[in-house]
Each structure stands twice: as C-alpha cells, then as structure tokens.
C-alpha cells in the first residue's frame, strides 16, 4: 500500500475550479425571488446560505423550524442545527447566523429565506426540518439532495465543481476579503487555523471577492 501511495500520490488543488462572483452573477440572471419556481428558489437559497455560513450540506439539512432554535425575519437569521454533523461527536455545530445583505436584495440570503419560508409553510405538515422537496409529499430532503442542489447551481453556471467547493470557496473568499479569521473559524467550526489552511483555503481571484461573505458569520 505504501508503494501504491507513492506511485499515485494524492492530488491537492491549490486553486478553485470556479469563482464566487461568476456563480453569483449567474444567480442574478434568475430574476426576482418571488417569481422563481419553488425548485429554483430552494436551490438558490440553499447555495446562498451555504456560501456565507461555511457549513456542510449535512449541517444545513438539520436546520429545523422550532421554537428556541429558529429565528427568522427581515432583520436577520439565526438557527441552531439540531443533531450532529460529520465531525461533531459530543457538541452540536455552531449556530448559523446571517445578517441581511442590503447591497443587493437579489443576493440576500435572509430575504430569500423569508421568501422561501412563506412558500414552504403551507406545504409542510408535521415536518420540522426547514428544507423539504419541491414535489409531493414534500418530505425533508437528504444531504445527498442538498449536495445535488449546490452542485447543480455550480454546473449550470458553466463551471465545474462539487458541493464541497461551496464551503471551501466561501470561507477562502471571506479570508481574502479580510474578514476576521476568528469569525471564519467559528462559523466553519474549525478549531485550528492549520486545518482551514490545509484542507479548505483556495485563493480566489481579486475580482471574485464579494461583500456578501460578511453577512454569514457572527459579529
């Protein structure tokens, strides 16, 4: 096995395969949130939330509309995902905290969450989890579906990438935009800077930097 490892060393990407600004520009072409079909509104909202919160799909699907763990209005969003993520064993993941992106409502995660909640509320029955499918019987989605949504947005924009890239590109762009590193580590639930640098940091082009990354981590 050591010989196989030496003959086929792991491939490490130093740079991202897509730029945040390009995908955001593509999402802008979709038009107003209120006029989007439900499936597109789900995909766009999921991508914006994942981008600014640096969370895994497995964490996002644990967002539950429950008293004490959910707060959403036009002034901001705060949610404590219920359950454990991929690496958490004894403590839940940090809460998702998003402030409104006042510079462009068409890219504001909070505005899209509020709009989406209004459309999903009549459809959900006894389901507490926020993300449900766009088709009957409107069940809660799996982490695989969330991954497919994120990947579809990237691929449809003309780029190549995976759902994992959203967490990496979002946090990398935030770091390059001089967002407080401690806030990035807290939002992404990384205990050490070295973990973020080794596994997630992929420098973006300067033209790809966006202030939208400032809305997704707690002040």
Please state, in angstroms and rounded to a whole number, the distance separating the CA atoms of residues 60 and 81. Answer: 7
Q: Which residue has the higher pLDDT, 131 or 196?
A: 131
Please state, in angstroms and rounded to a whole number, the distance separating the CA atoms of residues 22 and 191. Answer: 30
- pLDDT tens-digit map of 117-164: 999 999 988 889 999 999 999 999 999 999 999 999 999 999 988 998
Contact status, residue 52 vs residue 218, Cβ threshold 8 Å: no
Please state, in angstroms and rounded to a whole number, the distance separating the CA atoms of residues 16 and 18. Answer: 5
> Angle 106-71-35 (CA atoms, 0-180°, nearest 5)?
30
Highest mean pLDDT among 8-17, 76-85, 152-161, 196-205: 152-161
Percent of the chain with pLDDT over 70: 86
pLDDT of 33 > 90? The answer is yes
- The string of DSSP codes covering 101-116 is -TT-GGG-HHHHHHHH
pLDDT at 85: 60
pLDDT at 152: 96
Fold assignment, 19-215:
hpI Integrase; Chain A (1.10.443)
Sheet with 96-98: list strands edge to edge: 70-73, 76-79, 96-98
Contact status, residue 129 vs residue 29, Cβ threshold 8 Å: no
Domain regions of the chain by residue span: 19-215
| Mean pLDDT, residues 40-54 taken together | 95
pLDDT at 174: 84
- pLDDT tens-digit map of 61-111: 999 999 999 999 999 999 998 876 665 555 677 889 999 998 899 999 999
């Amino acid at each position: 096995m050591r010989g196989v490892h030496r003959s086929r060393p792991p491939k490490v990407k130093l740079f991202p395969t897509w730029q945040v600004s390009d995908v955001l520009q593509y999402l802008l072409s979709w038009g107003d949130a209120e006029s989007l079909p439900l499936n597109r509104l789900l995909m766009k909202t999921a991508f914006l939330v994942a981008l600014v919160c640096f969370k895994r799909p497995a964490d996002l699907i644990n967002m539950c509309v429950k008293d004490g763990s959910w707060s959403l209005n036009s002034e901001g969003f705060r949610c404590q995902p219920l359950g454990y993520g991929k690496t958490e064993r004894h403590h839940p993941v940090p809460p998702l905290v998003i402030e409104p992106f006042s510079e462009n409502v068409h890219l504001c995660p909070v505005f899209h969450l509020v709009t989406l909640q209004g459309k999903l509320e009549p459809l959900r029955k006894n389901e507490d989890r926020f993300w449900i499918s766009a088709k009957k019987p409107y069940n809660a989605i799996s982490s695989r579906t969330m991954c497919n949504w994120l990947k579809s947005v990237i691929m449809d924009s003309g780029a190549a990438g995976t759902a994992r890239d959203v967490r990496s590109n979002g946090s990398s762009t935030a770091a390059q935009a001089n967002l407080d590193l401690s806030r990035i580590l807290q939002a992404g639930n990384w205990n050490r800077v070295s973990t973020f640098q080794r596994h997630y940091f992929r420098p973006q082009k300067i033209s790809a930097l966006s202030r939208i990354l400032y809305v997704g981590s707690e002040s």
